[in-house]
Structure 1
Amino acid sequence: MERFPSSMDYVNMMAKLGDLKDEHYRNTLALSTIIELLIDKGILTRDEVERKAAELDEFMAHSPYPTV
């Protein structure tokens, strides 16, 4: 028997989405902080970070792996 989502199911789904947004923000903040510290300490340059980000972005846009 097929069950239709209740109003509470929608509330729970929206709450989970809100939690995911908070988690995404915290992860992005942590990564940004680490990158800035590495640049400030002279371990990486901003150009190196930007080049690697562009390289990874290109790889993800044209993945050599088959997709399902």
Structure 2
Amino acid sequence: MERFPSGMDYVQMMAKLGDLKDEHYRNTLALSTIIELLVDKGILTREEVERKAAELDQFMVHSPYPTV
């Protein structure tokens, strides 16, 4: 027997999405901070970061997962 989602199910789902959004922001902020510190200290250049990001982005052009 299939159960239809209740109003409370929708509220819980929206709360979970809100939590994910906050977590995504914190992760992005942490990564940005680390990159800025590495650039500020002269360990990396912005060009190196951009070049590596472009290189890694190419992996996402083709999904690593099989499609149906």
- TM-score normalised by structure 2 residue count: 0.91
Aligned mates of 2:63, 2:12 — CA distance in 1: 35
Aligned residues: 68
* RCO comparison, higher one (Cα < 8 Å, 6+): 2
Gaps of 5+ in 1: none
Runs of 4+ more than 4 Å apart: 63-68
Q: Which runs of 5+ in 2 are unaligned?
A: none
CA-to-aligned-CA distance 1:5-44 (integer Å, 9 cap, x gap):
0000000000000000000000000000000000000000
* Mapped partners of 2:65, 2:3: distance in 1: 38
Identity of matched residues, %: 91
C-alpha distance in 2 between matches for 1:56 and 1:5? 39
- TM-score normalised by length of structure 1: 0.91
Write the distance in 1 (CA, Å) between the matches of 2:15 and 2:64: 36
Alpha-carbon distance in structure 1 between the residues aligned to 2:46 and 2:33:
13
Give the SS at the match of 1:3. coil
